[in-house]
Structure 1
């Protein structure tokens, strides 16, 4: 069985969770400079990357349970959790269930808010489309709009990598995760009650997490840092790698000292 996580560096721990139809591979280059200062772990969430066997549930809660189980196996008692998009939804479920394990939380182009009725309807349409036309036909037009249009010409390799990861995702994982994202609850109460600092990273051109939704939640934690990135869509680890990595590094240093 292939390894469902990467584990590099030493010291205080940063754990990275990928988004929908992604894998731990999206963090490979991004985390390399961080490995000089921190232990960095990137996981394949259930149903994605090399973690596609014997998946009984795609709920955010089951993803949180998987993260906890893996961290316990790796002897990680406390960490900063960085969740991109769907990985942020899983991070919120983790914070709800296992908040005592968190020293900090980063919502990286993600949200504590539930899907709107319109977005739930779009998830249902996507499930129907995948079931009728397959994963490849869904992924090919899905990936490019995640990137701000002004960045697409110089990120062709990254866009193609994302498509390759997405096309390799099993159909049941795609439809299962779409349903799980649709059905996830409002987690803003978790932000309000957070006993740990929260870092928000938002792209000003992100169609998946619009600016007004970002503004609704970034003030909720008692202790938060917020980065808004110009000319950035949903994929800051590729579109603004230096800025987003520095934001996470600075956040970690304020927590770890």
Structure 2
């Protein structure tokens, strides 16, 4: 339960000062402990006048893993997931432009633009080749990057990626097309519970004071997230035509109970990729790296080791 609770905080807060009733110094220490256990340090760099934050860890001689979070998330999503990886791999977990601690760029947040920003960020980091992993929106960005820059991608891992018109429409799709509010954007205190039920199969228990505080934090970001989501919808970049361009070995990993992006997306993607590895995790929702960090990390590590 403690692990799941902290995973929830990482997913939904994106900030050190989260636990309303806990001194900031204690929580900052907790976050530092998680970074330490994962072997990660918090760093930043400037790319085209944008301040980009990221975690970096692992041996400099190791092959590089680039981890991309999803919509309304940040680099903290990968803290516990990274623990089994930094022993042998050089891990870079980004706050994509406009998310987490990174600056909000002028212009578009569509995934095509973000894929080009990713190329610029990796140039600045001196990363010429990497294993690229993304979840949700980050998965779509990762796939576009792999299609556009095949020479730079050693392997590709997509955790419940966006960008596919799935045969079976997800609950999120059905809600939005019926005119219902977006459950991923918290605009009222009660919306927070809806978000929890969408993200996790079994939402963890949260004290009311903490739930209220996290809801208020999420509400404060609602306008920005609304704008980003609107751009993602109005400026779509369909992924299916891009998939045959991907040359890298690919892992498709999904939670069977994902309510945000339906697992049937795999049926569309699998024939368009070159013999991808496919893993479907039972009793897992939209963020496997948070709901089952160790299990999903070991599955990913096994995929990487199988490439050698």
What is the TM-score of this pair, normalised by structure 1?
0.82
Structure 1 counterpart of 2:277 = 225
- Distance, in Å, in 1 between the alignment partners of 2:293 and 2:261 is 18
Is the contact made by 1:147 and 1:235 (CA closer than 8 Å) also made in structure 2? yes
2:85 to 34, 42, 66: 34
Structure 1 counterpart of 2:73 = 22
Structure 1 residue 119 corresponds to structure 2 residue 173: yes
Structure 2 counterpart of 1:204 = 256
Structure 2 counterpart of 1:216 = 268
Deviations 1:58-102 (A, max 9, x none): 111121122111111111101111110111121122223222211
SS in structure 2 at match of 1:189: coil
2:111 to 52, 60, 69: 60
Post-superposition offset of 1:239: 1.9
- Distance, in Å, in 2 between the alignment partners of 1:38 and 1:165 is 37
| Counterparts in 2 of 1:136 and 1:81: CA distance versus 1, 3 Å | farther
- Distance, in Å, in 1 between the alignment partners of 2:236 and 2:165 is 6
What is the TM-score of this pair, normalised by structure 2?
0.70
Runs of 4+ that moved beyond 6 A: 115-118
Q: Which structure dedicates a bigger proportion of its chain to helix?
A: 1
Post-superposition offset of 1:200: 0.4
| RMSD over equivalenced CA pairs, Å | 3.2
Larger radius of gyration: 2
- Distance, in Å, in 1 between the alignment partners of 2:265 and 2:162 is 8
- Distance, in Å, in 1 between the alignment partners of 2:85 and 2:243 is 26
Structure 1 residue 251 corresponds to structure 2 residue 300: no
- Distance, in Å, in 1 between the alignment partners of 2:284 and 2:257 is 5
Structure 2 counterpart of 1:141 = 194
Alignment of 1:167-206 (within 5 A): 167=218, 170-182=221-233, 183-206=235-258
- Distance, in Å, in 2 between the alignment partners of 1:112 and 1:99 is 19
Count of aligned pairs = 248
- Distance, in Å, in 2 between the alignment partners of 1:3 and 1:185 is 24
2:156 to 100, 105, 114: 105
